[in-house]
Structure 1
Amino acid sequence: MAETLLVAGTASHVGKSTVAAGLCRYLADRDVSVAPFKAQNMSNNARATPGGEVGVSQYVQARAAGVTPSTDHNPVLLKPRGDGESQLVLDGEAVGHFEARGYYDEHWADALDAARVAHDRLSQAHDVIIAEGAGSIAEINLHDRDLANVETARFADADILLVADIERGGVFASLVGTLELVPDDIREQVAGAVITKFRGDRSLLAPGIEAFEDRTGVPVLGVLPYDDPGLPEEDSVALPPVGERSVVGADDSAPDDESVTVAVPRLPRISNFTDLQPLAREHGVRVAYVPPEAALDDADAVVLPGSKNTVDDLLALTDAGFRDRLQSFDGPVVGLCGGYQMLGEEITNADIEGTGDADHIEGLGLLPVTTAFSESKTVEHVERTLDGVGPLSGASGTVGGYEIHMGDSTLTDTAARPFDGDGAATDTVLGTYLHDLFVNDTARDAFVRNTFEAAGIDPPAEEGREGGDPYDRAAGFVAEHVDLSPLGLPDQ
């Protein structure tokens, strides 16, 4: 049976996913059979596996571990859709939409069983399981039903590595408070702590670390400097709140008059925003998440991202006047998954997707497409032959990615079908269900080139940012800054 290490946190967005991915790659590089695990995840950033969908972090961690991603790595996934409801995905399959009380009353026992069984299968197949917690392990109102943290620590008999973020201040209070509030049996399983996102002179932390260790008896095994290995984000907390503007990639060296801005409306129920990360890493490209009511005057291109609730997010855009501004925009426009559905003329059976009772919703009207929702859901890896047109003109060859969506889109008039007869495109607008489109060099390079051309700017000579393999970077990051020996992992 495998040893399990639970990477738990004092809060969300403290760096658990990066530490877990780094540990997976570190062990895999030493020929240790390792697998990731997260009993319950809440995220609208998902990926398709052969058995269904899982949270993006477990997909990434499986890749880091050198194993095929599967639903056992994330047996319970909750995808928020608005009005207090989430879609429950159990062992990769969508079960239904539930409010929190309904989930705990009706499906909690099933979720716990699914998590235990998945962990048992992984434990029989591997030597080590790197489990990731969710949010804070010290949520005392949830300790009787905390599947990702407390229950995982118990049924896996896991050692616990506690991760805390110093960026927002109060790191020692967070660590001490967390250790005070976890159940007594779980407290005994904490093997050490890691402080993340530190900027400055590490020696200045020494008195605090010494006082913390004297008070709690828990060793601080490492201090990770502020860095980004380039792994996909999972938590929407990484994005600006709705109504605020944020620019990603603004730290690159290209001057303003040699850069382009890709505007992305910050949808209230945005999903799979990791589709935009490859663009933000391109030299001279700035990805700006803008409020739905924002002007597009400074934008050189627009990308509409995915949505967990296309209907309600489309209504939010319409109410904010986004339709008129987008129809007047003359640069490249790309819609991904839910964004593709929004770019069409109409959505039917809208009450299946939306939280209201409207059956028909008018689209943004940039593509001759209508989308009809049904209860069935597409979850699959795909490869397509791209015949680049419109925003992707000049691109060709095979592109790969994944589809996770409800609803089917059909043409209402003549339009190009750039993906083996799928998707739709005009001279300036393109829509597709293909997530990870911009991971493909041919598609990304064409979009960037066409955006610079439409803006009347010569593309920079540098082709892109060199960052190395993000899994190797995460592994090196953890190995360099964390003392792993007290964790009892193999090959230390």
Structure 2
Amino acid sequence: MAHTLLVAGTASHVGKSTVAAGLCRYLADCGVSVAPFKAQNMSNNARATPGGEVGVSQYVQARAAGVAPSTDHNPVLLKPRGDGESQLILDGEAVGHFEARGYYDEHWRDALETARAAHERLSRDHDVIAAEGAGSIAEINLHDRDLANVETARFADAEILLVADIERGGVFASLVGTLELVPDDIRDQVAGAVITKFRGDRALLDPGIQEFEERTGVPVLGVLPYDDPGLPEEDSVALPPVGERSVVGHDDGVPDGDSITVAVPRLPRISNFTDLEPLAREPGVRVAYVPPDASLADADAVVLPGSKNTVDDLLALADADFGDRLRAFDGPVVGLCGGYQMLGEAITNADIEGTGDSDRVEGLGLLPVTTEFSETKTVEHVERDLDGVGPLSGASGTVEGYEIHMGDSALTGEAARPFDGDGAATDVVLGTYLHDLFNNEVARDAFVRNAFEAAGIDPPAGSRATSGDPYERAAGLIVDHVDLGPLGLPDR
């Protein structure tokens, strides 16, 4: 039986994914056979594996651990689709759409057994399992059905590493309160705590740490400085709320006047927005998430992201008259997955999503494409030969990524097919089902170059800013700032 360490949190977005990824890479570097695990994930940022879909964090953690991503790493995935309903995916396969009560009443036991079986398979093949919890382990209203935290701690007999974010304030109250509310039967499994996102003089924390340890008997094993290793975000908590504008980009020293803005409509049901993160890391590129009713006057390019409910998000754009502004826009436009479907002339069989009142919904009309929805879901890793046209003109080579979508898109008029006969493109508009498109340097460079040219701005001189391997940076946070000895793991 593998040694399981559960990285649990006092709340959502406290750094659990980064800590788990750092542990995976560090242990792999030490020659330890390690695998990630998250019994139940709720995220619309998914990745394709040979067996089906998994959450992006477990996909990333598997890469950090040096193992092939598998549905065993995230056996239960819930993909929110609005109105309190989520798509349930077990062992990588979609089971159906359920409201929370229906899931807990009818399917939670199946989910528990699916997670338990996946953990047992991983335990047979690895020495250590770096499990990640979800949200807070102290949600007392969910303790009888908390699969990612409480049940994982039980069936895996896991040691628990409690993670708390000091940037939110009240970090010691969060830690103490969480320990007070953890179920009694797993309280003794809490082996230590880690404080994340700290800025300033570490010595100022010492009095608080000492009193916390005296009160609880739980050691603080590390204080991680505020740092973003560059790992993909797991969910939309990292994005601005619908209706607000936010600009994402690193501090590259390029003046705003010498930069370009890539506008991304903040769809109510946005998914796989990690597709935009490689652009935000480019010097002189600002990725702006804008409300659907926002002006595009200050945009130099537009990217329509994926959507968990393409029809509902398309209707939201129509209600905001986004299509009129996009048709008047003269810069490069790219649609990814659901965004590609929206750029077409229409979506048929639209009621298969269970939204809207019509079988046919009119698209934005920028590409001569019609999409027909079907019950069959495509989930696969793909490689394509890119013959760059339109927003990717000048690009040539092999690109890879993944597809997760329902339905197929067919040409209704004249357009280029830039991806081995897939996708569609005109002089300024391109659509593709290929997620991770901009992770491919050949595609990213072409898009950025064409966007700068369309804006009449010279690209910044010099080489691309780099921040190092994100897996190694995450591992460095663990190695430099966490005492792993009490967890029974190799220490430094």
TM-score by length of structure 2 reads 0.99
Which residue number corresponds to residue 321 of structure 1? 321
Alignment of 1:84-163 (within 5 A): 84-163=84-163
Distance (Å, rounded) in 1 between the aligned partners of 2:418 and 2:261: 24
* Deviation of the 1:463 alpha carbon: 3.4
* Deviation of the 1:185 alpha carbon: 1.5
CA contact (8 A) 2:485 2:491 kept: no
For residues 304-358 of structure 1, give each alpha carbon's deviation from its aligned partner in whole angstroms, at most 9, with x where no partner exists.
Answer: 0000000000001110110111010000000000000000000011111242332
SS in 2 for 1:107: helix
Alignment of 1:391-406 (within 5 A): 391-406=391-406
**Structure 1 residues 88 and 452: alpha-carbon distance in aligned structure 2, compared to 1, 3 A threshold:** same
- Is residue 210 of structure 1 aligned with residue 210 of structure 2? yes
* Deviation of the 1:490 alpha carbon: 4.4
**Structure 1 residues 209 and 244: alpha-carbon distance in aligned structure 2, compared to 1, 3 A threshold:** same
Which residue number corresponds to residue 47 of structure 2? 47
Distance (Å, rounded) in 1 between the aligned partners of 2:491 and 2:224: 22
CA contact (8 A) 1:310 1:354 kept: no
- Matched residue type, 1:444: R
Which residue number corresponds to residue 311 of structure 1? 311
Which residue number corresponds to residue 479 of structure 1? 479
Distance (Å, rounded) in 1 between the aligned partners of 2:433 and 2:268: 20
SS in 2 for 1:303: strand
- Matched residue type, 1:238: A
Which residue number corresponds to residue 21 of structure 1? 21
For residues 405-442 of structure 1, give each alpha carbon's deviation from its aligned partner in whole angstroms, at most 9, with x where no partner exists.
Answer: 01110000010000000000000000000000000000
- Matched residue type, 2:184: D
Alignment of 1:233-272 (within 5 A): 233-249=233-249, 251-272=251-272
Worse overlay, 247-256 or 469-478: 247-256
CA contact (8 A) 2:260 2:451 kept: yes
CA contact (8 A) 2:484 2:490 kept: no
SS in 2 for 1:191: strand
- Is residue 299 of structure 1 aligned with residue 299 of structure 2? yes
* Deviation of the 1:208 alpha carbon: 1.1
Distance (Å, rounded) in 1 between the aligned partners of 2:323 and 2:157: 53
- Matched residue type, 2:89: V
Which residue number corresponds to residue 351 of structure 2? 351
Distance (Å, rounded) in 1 between the aligned partners of 2:4 and 2:176: 24
For residues 169-215 of structure 1, give each alpha carbon's deviation from its aligned partner in whole angstroms, at most 9, with x where no partner exists.
Answer: 11111111100001012111000001111111111111111111111
* Deviation of the 1:258 alpha carbon: 1.0
Which residue number corresponds to residue 431 of structure 2? 431
CA contact (8 A) 2:352 2:375 kept: yes
- Matched residue type, 1:455: A
Which residue number corresponds to residue 232 of structure 1? 232
- Is residue 385 of structure 1 aligned with residue 378 of structure 2? no
SS in 1 for 2:240: coil
Distance (Å, rounded) in 2 between the aligned partners of 1:365 and 1:251: 36
- After superposing on structure 2, the runs of 4+ consecutive aligned residues of structure 1 that deviate more than 6 Å are none
Distance (Å, rounded) in 2 between the aligned partners of 1:353 and 1:425: 26
Give unmatched runs, 5+ long, in structure 2.
none
Which residue number corresponds to residue 180 of structure 1? 180
SS in 1 for 2:464: coil
Aligned length: 492
* Deviation of the 1:53 alpha carbon: 0.5
Distance (Å, rounded) in 2 between the aligned partners of 1:266 and 1:323: 14
CA contact (8 A) 2:312 2:355 kept: yes
SS in 2 for 1:228: coil
For residues 80-136 of structure 1, give each alpha carbon's deviation from its aligned partner in whole angstroms, at most 9, with x where no partner exists.
Answer: 001111000000000000000111111111100000000000000000000000000
CA contact (8 A) 2:484 2:491 kept: no
SS in 2 for 1:152: helix
Which residue number corresponds to residue 414 of structure 2? 414
Which residue number corresponds to residue 82 of structure 1? 82
CA contact (8 A) 1:34 1:130 kept: yes
* Deviation of the 1:462 alpha carbon: 2.7
Identity %: 87
Distance (Å, rounded) in 2 between the aligned partners of 1:11 and 1:355: 32
Distance (Å, rounded) in 2 between the aligned partners of 1:465 and 1:304: 25
Worse overlay, 150-159 or 256-265: 256-265
**Structure 1 residues 205 and 148: alpha-carbon distance in aligned structure 2, compared to 1, 3 A threshold:** same
CA contact (8 A) 2:45 2:56 kept: yes
For residues 277-312 of structure 1, give each alpha carbon's deviation from its aligned partner in whole angstroms, at most 9, with x where no partner exists.
Answer: 000000100000111111011110000000000000
SS in 1 for 2:357: coil
Distance (Å, rounded) in 2 between the aligned partners of 1:407 and 1:439: 24
Give unmatched runs, 5+ long, in structure 1.
none
CA contact (8 A) 1:40 1:74 kept: yes
CA contact (8 A) 1:76 1:111 kept: yes
Distance (Å, rounded) in 2 between the aligned partners of 1:490 and 1:378: 41
- Matched residue type, 1:43: S
CA contact (8 A) 1:293 1:322 kept: yes
* Deviation of the 1:491 alpha carbon: 6.3
Which residue number corresponds to residue 274 of structure 1? 274
* Deviation of the 1:252 alpha carbon: 2.2
Distance (Å, rounded) in 1 between the aligned partners of 2:425 and 2:463: 26
Which residue number corresponds to residue 38 of structure 2? 38
Which residue number corresponds to residue 68 of structure 1? 68
CA contact (8 A) 1:401 1:434 kept: yes
